Structures are given as structure tokens and as C-alpha cells.
Amino acid sequence: MRPLEELVNKKDSAWPIVQEMVKSAKNKVEILHVNAEKTNDALYKTQVTTRSPMGAIVYNTGGILVDNGWIRILGSGNTKLDRSLPDWNKGKSFKEFGESPSFLLIADDAIGGFFILNGGSLGEDLGKVYYFAPDNLEYEPLDITYTEFLDFCFNNDLNQFYKDNRWKNWQKEVSELDGNKVFSFYPYLWTKEGKDINKNSRKAISIEEQYNLNIEFRKQLGLQ
């Protein structure tokens, strides 16, 4: 594993680029404060340089919340989003730090959807982002890079992207939701009976539980 000194690039960091993207964002964006001890650890475990937007976000933020916390982009962890990008991926996309992951969980949303950077396991489009959708349990290719994903979060019409998956007055509930939790719906969003989100019951559960449920449901439905 490369030492921290090789990963921190102060002369050519992507952080100013990310800051400019945030400044011009159409959607509401909140940069979470960074903890100096956590950030060094997270960047070292991630093994990406700060010349990349991902490395810059891991090193300079505790994470980024978009649209009242509907989307959570992972950084080095914060009280509002108490998960770092590498720690959240350990045991899911790789077993030990330093391994080259076949995919990377980079962000997630309040309804149990996961944004994944393809490292080879999802297709031949390496470096492109997929959406692991809670309403069909499919890995949907978005055909965008990590940097383009940031632009998608900051400027895209998220109401359109999440059409039919936002309930009335969702903003207050989502803004109060812990960053380690998501809303779980019943009937499940991927079932025929669960398509009207305003009629579904919902409760907050841990995101770890929801991720494992999604994977298990895929197996049960023969989607693996």
C-alpha cells in the first residue's frame, strides 16, 4: 500500500474543482466537516490520490449530503454520516485494505439505493457508475464517471430521477434521518404491490441491514 505522503497531492489537488462544483450546484449540497485523524486513515485505506475527485472528497470532507440528505456521498465520516468510504466497502467489495476492488460503493440514498463504481464485476465499462435500484433490484448503468456522478448529484433533476419513489412531504423525514439508516418500505418497492410509495408503510433501518437484504432478495429472485 502506498504511504499517505504519496496520496496527498497539495500542488495538484482536485479539491478546488469539487468546491467550484458545489458552489455552482443547483441542488442543495452540504459538505460535512472533516476529522483530521479520520481523514488520513480513510485516504490511506482507500489508496487513491487527492488528484482525483474521490480522493479529494475522502481527504477534505466527512461526506457530502445532497437534497436534504436524500443522497449521501461517502467521504471520511462525520457524526451525520458515520461511515467512511473504505470502512463501508470492507467486507463488501474487498476483504482487506489494499486489495483492488471489483466494485466500490461510493454513495447511497434514503430509500436504500446504492451508487456503485464499476471495477470490473458489473461489466466492461470500468470506471462507470451504476445504480443498484431498490425498486427493481437491478444494477442500472448510468454511463457516467465518478466526476460526472458528482455533477449528476449537484445539478440533475432528482425529482425526475426518483419519479414515483418520493412520498409527500419527504423532505422533513429525510433531513432528520441518520446517515447510517435508510427507509425500508412494505410492501417492498420492487414488488407489484409496492409501486405506490404513498401507500406503503415505512420505517428507518440500518443501511447495512438494507444492503444485505437487497443482495439476499436478488439471490432469491434468481437475479445473481
**Domains of the chain (ranges, CATH numbers):** 4-157 (3.40.1580.10)
DSSP secondary structure code for residue 63 in this structure: E
pLDDT at 80 (0 to 100): 95
Q: Is 193 exposed, middle or buried (0-12, 13-18, 19+ CB in 10 A)?
A: exposed
Report the distance separating Cα 3 and Cα 9, nearest Å.
Answer: 12
In tens digits, the chain (224 residues) has pLDDT values of: 999 999 999 899 999 999 999 999 999 999 999 998 899 999 999 999 999 999 999 999 999 999 999 999 999 999 999 999 999 999 999 999 999 999 999 999 999 999 999 999 999 999 999 999 999 999 999 999 999 999 999 999 999 999 999 999 999 999 999 999 999 999 999 999 999 999 999 999 999 999 999 999 999 999 97
Decide: pTM greater than 0.85: yes
What are φ and ψ of residue 91, in 5° steps? 90, -10
CB-CB contact of 200 with 186 (8 Å): yes
Report the distance separating Cα 95 and Cα 211, nearest Å.
Answer: 17
What are φ and ψ of residue 25, in 5° steps? -65, 140
Report the distance separating Cα 50 and Cα 10, nearest Å.
Answer: 8
Amino acid, res. 110? A
Report the distance separating Cα 75 and Cα 54, nearest Å.
Answer: 8
